Amino acid sequence: MVWVGIALLAVFVASAVFGSRGWMHLCRLHQEQAEVEALAVRLERQNAALDQHIRRLDGDDTYLEKVVRERIHWVKPNEMLYRADGSGSGEVGAAEGPAGPKD
């Protein structure tokens, strides 16, 4: 009779620790929750940075021009864009603005 009680207690403890709703499962859920919360914080920061970027694009023409020049290499008429090829050879290429070369 004592062995049956010990066996039942062992089954109960094993189920409480390793079962589908046991302590190990609870630990995994806590870890998953921490990861999701960290992701949420990173996304909130990224969203705030993007909101600020959008506000600056809408309200600051100087910033807008800077971004356009950097991203699409926009050149005003009569300006020249110089590009280094990055090989260290010292050669530089030039591109005319949208108006093209003036003769």
Residue 70, Cα to own-chain centre: how many angstroms?
Answer: 21
For residue 63, give both structure tokens. Answer: 């910033």
Is 81 found in the same domain as 45?
A: no
Tell me the CA end-to-end span of the chain in Å, nearest whole number: 108
Q: Which domain holds residue 48?
A: 2-72
pLDDT (tens digit per residue) in 38-51? 999 999 999 999 99
Is 42 found in the same domain as 85?
A: no
Degrees, nearest 5: CA angle 86-89-90? 85
* pTM exceeds 0.75, yes or no: no
Is 83 found in the same domain as 60?
A: no
What's the CA gap between 18 and 12, in Å, rounded? 10
Is 60 found in the same domain as 102?
A: no
Is 36 found in the same domain as 11?
A: yes
Cross-strand bridge partners of residue 84: 92
pLDDT (tens digit per residue) in 23-37? 788 899 999 999 999
pLDDT (tens digit per residue) in 78-102? 888 777 776 655 554 555 555 444 4
SS (H, E, C) 11-58: HHHHHHHHCCCCHHHHHHHHHHHHHHHHHHHHHHHHHHHHHHHHHHHH
